Homo-oligomer: A and B are copies of this chain.
Amino acid sequence: MALNETHDLSLTSWVTSANDSATDFPIQNLPVASFRVAGSEQSFRGGVAIGDQIVDLQQLAEKSIFVGLAQDALLACSQEDLNDFMAMGSQAWSALRLALSKALRSDAPEQDIIASCLVAQTDAEFKLPCTIGDYTDFYTSIYHATSVGKLFRPDNPLLPNYKWVPIGYHGRSSSIDVSGQAFHRPCGQTKAPDATEPSFGPCKRLDYELELGIYLGAGNALGDAIAIDDADKHVFGFCLFNDWSARDMQAWEYQPLGPFLAKNFASTVSPWIVSNEALEPYRVAWSRDENDPQPMAYLESEKNRSEGAIDIQLEVLLETEKMRSEGEQAVQLSQSSFKHSYWTVAQMVAHHSVNGCNLKPGDFFGSGTQSGPTHEEAGSLLELSKGGKEAISLPNGETRTFLNDGDNVIMRGYCHKEGHARIGFGEVTSLVLPAKQ
């Protein structure tokens, strides 16, 4: 992929809110979601964000003003699940992006027609953008792996395979929902370190994980590996992802086969999918410390070295029940960047398929918790509170080691640098309800 006219910083839109330098959704972004007018009986359908508006792709398809691949893409986006659009591949994704970019520009002759297809974002509700077949969670932050490893295995924090294998495991797709998800604190078995037997009850160490989510595109047939330099063609786009975790349940259940009930009670995605193409200006070089093992051949390429990483700023905020009732703003708990990831997205794709495992349109990867190199950049409370030993003080006098009922966790993400448009991800929020008992 390369920069093209859709990335041009000088482009402005006749949707004037898209020209605000603080918007997440300028004309250079154009992320897609599945939405409908809130509270309506409409079926959900694809939409593209522009400023504070949404272009209704089902309505636009009916206008038949696009042609060829762009119109075919619009028809695929008229469905409530975007799997068919994802399956069309990167040529179709680019064709729709270019057609929308042209039609939304300040001087576009299509303005009146498109304007009739706009819905204000404040009037919309969202759903998961596709049927997620399989969900895989990776573990790509070496800072997260090391600090969590210290808590679970003090003598052996980073296992010998970490620097060779892009560690991942299968997660549960049924309990993934879109921003706004409210879920009950899970119940389960836990065992206190000094107890002789486990006990049953509500999770006492409920945590978030600050992750990037990755939707897969066309995918591969069973038995065919995806070469690392072909991986990007299979990546449909990115979102924010909160991979809720019950740390006390996790500690008791995770050996020998990995996390299970500690993770599968809820996971939350942001509604908008930012395309791989929109992120092109934010690709940066990826490197491996010379003292570390270098990647095996199937995980190595010049392209991956020169542009494999992506500089996406991520932040997590907390809004407690007290803050809500007193009208206070949510407070930032930490910020980090995806550029710190020990493994790139292309390496995740190449690794996942090297044994012939088939990836399908709409499959989903979590990046793993994106903790940065310093303690302040940790992407989970487990790390920020040092395993629950040091409470975090909030500006309003409250403290937290893990999450309380009524806590609302908010994650945001964006890319920004001189000479390029800000590419925002919007946000993912989700509320902790008391345990059902």
Residues of A in contact with B (beta carbons under 8 Å apart): 133-134, 136-137, 139, 149, 152-153, 159, 161, 164-165, 167-175, 177, 183-184, 186-189, 191, 197-198, 200, 222-225, 246, 249, 252-261, 264-266, 293, 296-298, 351-352, 354-360, 363, 436
Contact = CB atoms under 8 A, between A and B. Distances in A.
Given A169-B169, A172-B357, A265-B355, A257 B255 contact: no
A189 B165 CA distance: 8
Given A177-B222, A188-B355, A257-B258, A172 B172 contact: no
Contacts of A223: 183-184, 436
A355 B249 contact: yes
| Nearest 7 CB-CB pairings of A with B | A258-B258, A186-B355, A169-B257, A170-B170, A257-B258, A265-B355, A261-B355
A188 B258 contact: no
24 contacts: A152-B256, A161-B198, A164-B198, A167-B253, A169-B259, A170-B171, A170-B172, A170-B258, A174-B222, A174-B360, A175-B358, A183-B223, A183-B356, A184-B223, A186-B355, A187-B354, A189-B296, A198-B296, A200-B297, A254-B258, A257-B258, A258-B259, A261-B354, A261-B355
Nearest to A202: B355
Contacts of A358: 174-175
Given A222-B266, A297-B200, A255 B161 contact: yes
A355 B256 contact: no
A207 to B, nearest CB: 14
A257 B256 contact: no
Given A161-B252, A224-B436, 7 more contacts: A134-B174, A167-B256, A168-B257, A169-B169, A174-B359, A175-B356, A254-B257
Contacts of A133: 133, 173-174
B222 A165 contact: no
A356 B169 contact: no
A324 to B, nearest CB: 22
Nearest to A183: B223
Contacts of A134: 172-174
Given A187-B355, A261-B354, A256 B168 contact: no
A246 B298 contact: no
Contacts of A256: 149, 152-153, 159, 167, 254-255, 258
Contacts of A436: 223-225, 356
A165 B252 contact: yes
Nearest to A223: B184
A222 B172 contact: no
A171 B133 CA distance: 12
Nearest to A252: B161
Contacts of A177: 222
Given A165-B252, A197-B293, A351 B172 contact: no
A258 B169 contact: yes
Contacts of A189: 164-165, 296
A357 B159 contact: no
